[in-house]
Structure 1
Amino acid sequence: MDIIQRNFFRLIRSGAFNDKSQIEVMSAFKWRRLYEIVMFQNVLDYFVRGVNNNANDKNLNLPDKLVEEIQAKLDLQEERRAGTQAGKVVGEETELSNSLLNKRFHKIIYNEMHSIDTSVETLRMLQLIVFNTNAMLNRGINLDGIIRLGQFLRGKGDKVDFLKLENWLSSLHLQRMAQLQGSILIAVFGFGKDEIDFVKKEEPVAYKLTIKIISNLVKDTVGEWHFRQNAAGFVQNNGKMLRRNLRRSYKYMRYAPLETTSNFINGFIKGLSEIEE
């Protein structure tokens, strides 16, 4: 882990979980690079809180120009939030790509909401895990989603029925995917294994996967075209996009084989359906 990555995680951990650790002095160029990672991972709020928490650290030498840019971005972010739907909860509307598993997922939600001993916290935990799974399969590790999972664990984890959660994850074939998400919290966010009951064994690749995702600032967007027709009417496929999706699917296949396969196939079919007739 280089100095940019170390400072990134120190500030994010501070902003998200109030962890304290000393910042290392960096050049203006490296602070700019760190800020790019922050924006790419959509963790600006945590970063700003982390900066505020470490305001007295003499090594926190953020360039004035960058501070102004961050403030402008915060103002813009607040304006956008004011115009978005109030009360929308991250992960609440998430779906699974596999139709059978998605039916099970919604049946779990319905049955639990109509149960005598409804556990809203356990359902919320499941939704966050499914949300992160969806994000990982389509865009790679989403640190914002992983952090939300960690915050929920520390804030309301004592109210979660982990036995019930484990049964749900088993029925959705997401035990290892959940374990991977928990392992990321352990590997880079300082969580203890005893804080995450659904991590039976730490996934050794969690650290490597996370470092790789923050090292790569190339946009990995699902908005790119998969297939299109040329002027002659022939169908062209986007080889770069296809290879990227294949690599990502292969990477997560061992953690959620059914959902990963369905996600890839659905993306392929969606690309075909976008071809203009």
Structure 2
Amino acid sequence: MDIIQRNFFRIMCSGAFATPSSLEAMSAFKWRRLIQMVEAQQVMPIFIHGIERHAMDEGLNLPETIIAEIRDKHEERKTLVERIPKSVRLSNTFLNRRLKKVIYNELHSIDTSTETLDLLKIIVSNSETMFTRGMNLGGIITMGEYLRTRGNKVDFVKLDNWLKALRLYAMAELQGNVLISVFGFEEDEIPFVSKSDSNAYQLTLRSISDLAKDTAHEWHFRQNAVGFVKNNSAVLHRNARRSLRYIRYAPLETTSNFVSNFVRSLSEIEE
């Protein structure tokens, strides 16, 4: 791990979980690279909070020009409740029907556990984002905060059964291992993690180092002036690589997600 990544993780840990640490001084170029990582992961509010916690740190040598840019991008971080997905879906039709049934049955149960449903939604949302864009640190942090503040109200027996039925247990375990390997969580804080996964750390490093940011203007297929369809092969290859990283954790949903995105790209051909 290089100095940029070390500082990135230290600031994230401080901003999200108040984990004490010391920063290492960097050049303006390296600070800008770090800001790129923050923007790619869409965790600017957490970064700003982390910077505030390191205000007296000698290693925090941010140039004034970068500080001014950060102030311009300042936005209030959503509360934990606001960050819980209101609705979630899976790309695989069969598993999505099963997900809807799980949610419906739980909401109409005599012992409904909204906290367990909330955690399930966070895990599902994180998984779908990871299949498409790579590691979702903002969502992983939300899961960590939820576990630490409301984990005592979660029915982990129910959650385990749901995750297994949805074939997402390994994905949930991967997300838990990111909390352990990157953010310093203890194993007993995450009951659905039964074994450590060294790959979680490497996947996270690869994701934050990938500064190719998805935008709404990015196209997969485009129709040229004479009507022929051409594709943005770089985007397709990149998304395929991202999907393959997680296929060992959720083969059915990973494949369905990629195919779904591929088909949607065809339907969104621009003139």
Within the alignment, does 1:97 sit opposite 2:91 as a pair? yes
Residue in structure 1 matching 2:213, options 212, 219, 222: 219
Task: Report the equivalent of 2:11.
Answer: 11
Residue in structure 1 matching 2:238, options 241, 244, 248: 244
Task: Report the equivalent of 2:65.
Answer: 65
Identity %: 57
Stretches of structure 2 lacking an aligned partner (at least 5 in a row):
none
Within the alignment, does 1:181 sit opposite 2:194 as a pair? no
Structure 2 residue identity aligned to 1:254: R
Task: Report the equivalent of 1:20.
Answer: 20
Task: Report the equivalent of 1:121.
Answer: 115
Preserved CA contact (<8 Å) 2:221 2:231? yes
- Tell me the distance in 1 between the aligned counterparts of 2:33 and 2:239: 26
SS of structure 1 residue aligned to 2:198: coil
Using the TM superposition, give the Cα deviation of residue 133 of structure 1 relative to its aligned residue in structure 2, in angstroms.
0.6
Q: Give the alignment's TM-score, normalised by structure 1.
A: 0.91
Task: Report the equivalent of 1:140.
Answer: 134
Task: Report the equivalent of 1:109.
Answer: 103
- Tell me the distance in 1 between the aligned counterparts of 2:99 and 2:85: 13
Q: Give the alignment's TM-score, normalised by structure 2.
A: 0.93
- Tell me the distance in 2 between the aligned counterparts of 1:127 and 1:259: 15
SS of structure 2 residue aligned to 1:137: helix
Residue in structure 2 matching 1:230, options 224, 237, 258: 224
- Tell me the distance in 1 between the aligned counterparts of 2:209 and 2:105: 42
Task: Report the equivalent of 1:51.
Answer: 51
Using the TM superposition, give the Cα deviation of residue 116 of structure 1 relative to its aligned residue in structure 2, in angstroms.
1.1
Using the TM superposition, give the Cα deviation of residue 47 of structure 1 relative to its aligned residue in structure 2, in angstroms.
1.3
Using the TM superposition, give the Cα deviation of residue 26 of structure 1 relative to its aligned residue in structure 2, in angstroms.
1.7
Provide the aligned length of Structure 1 versus Structure 2: 269
Using the TM superposition, give the Cα deviation of residue 150 of structure 1 relative to its aligned residue in structure 2, in angstroms.
0.7
Stretches of structure 1 lacking an aligned partner (at least 5 in a row):
82-86
Task: Report the equivalent of 1:84.
Answer: none
Alignment of 1:29-40 (within 5 A): 29-40=29-40
Structure 2 residue identity aligned to 1:161: D
